[in-house]
Amino acid sequence: MRTPSRARVTRGRTATALVALATGLTLTVSACADAKKAEPKRKTFEFSGEKLDVRAHGNPTDLVESDTENVRVTLWFDEGMSIGSSSTTWELKGDTLELDASCSGFADCDTKFRVEVPRHTTVLRDGRPTNLKG
């Protein structure tokens, strides 16, 4: 019985690794998440306070004044290729608005929030004063 040479074994392993790498790159490139392409989801929260603390946990979040009496939130969340799980949180408790959208495991997610607040509301971002857009 003839055993394969060291060079032949190495070439076989290299070829296998290159095929795996190419497959992984193809999946990653073709399945990139893009929040701009996501269908927007909206929630409105009754709000009568004078101060709102928005805790976005590192997610991109636009904060804008609006002619509204309540807090309106729009979420764009796109989960590209994913082997794992995703979760979203958007809830108002008292004067704190919790916003989070994330993926775990081997996943590619892209998120964006937009928060519209009543005019003359003091807005904090993660407990610190912030300027509003709009």
What are the tokens at 28? 């990653």
What are the tokens at 14? 């290299």
What are the tokens at 57? 């946990």
Sign of the Cα torsion 123, 128, 131, 134 reads: negative
pLDDT tens readout for residues 22-34: 445 444 444 586 7
Banded pLDDT at 103 (limits 50, 70, 90) = confident
Helix (H) or strand (E) run with residue 19 in it: helix 6-30
Q: Rounded to an integer, what distance in angstroms lies between the CA atom of residue 44 and that of residue 92?
A: 10
Q: What percent of the chain has pLDDT over 90?
A: 46
Answer for the pair 74, 44: CB distance below 8 angstroms, yes or no: no
